[in-house]
Amino acid sequence: MNRRLKPLFQRIKKLPGWVRKIVGILLILGGLLWFLPVLGLWMLPLGLMVLSLEFDWARRGYLSIAIWYRRRRHRRKTRQER
C-alpha cells in the first residue's frame, strides 16, 4: 500500500462497517463519473480498497488492479533504463 494512503486507510478502518460501505460505494460511483471535473478514475481503486475491508469480491478486485498497476510501472521503468 502507498505510504501516503496508509494513515487514511487506518482511519477508515476505525469507522463502523455501514459507514465504510457507504464511503466505498460513493467513491466507486464517483469514479464512474470520471469525465466530470474533480471526480476521476482515481476514485475506483480507492473505493475498492475501502470495500475490501467488508467484501471478498472487492478485495480480489482491488488486488488485481494493484498487481496490474505494479507490473505496468515495472515494465515502464525497465524500458526507460534501456
Q: Is residue 28 part of a domain?
A: yes
Q: Which residue has the cell 463519473?
A: 33
How does pLDDT run across 9-20, given as a tens digit for each residue? 788 888 888 988
Q: Is residue 23 part of a domain?
A: yes
d(CA 60, CA 70): 15
**Between 40 and 67, residue with greater pLDDT:** 67
Q: Is residue 46 part of a domain?
A: yes
- The one-letter amino acid code at 59 reads R
Q: Is residue 17 part of a domain?
A: yes
The DSSP secondary-structure symbol of 53 reads T
Strands (E), 1-82: none
Q: Is residue 1 part of a domain?
A: no
Q: Is residue 14 part of a domain?
A: yes
Share of the chain above pLDDT 70, in %: 96
* Domain boundaries, position 51: 6-81
pLDDT at 45 over 70: yes
**DSSP run (H or E) holding 37:** none
In this prediction, residue 73 carries a pLDDT of 87
The radius of gyration computed from the CA coordinates of the chain, to the nearest angstrom, equals 14
Predicted confidence band of residue 22 (pLDDT cuts 50, 70, 90): very high
The count of domains in the chain is: 1
In this prediction, residue 35 carries a pLDDT of 80
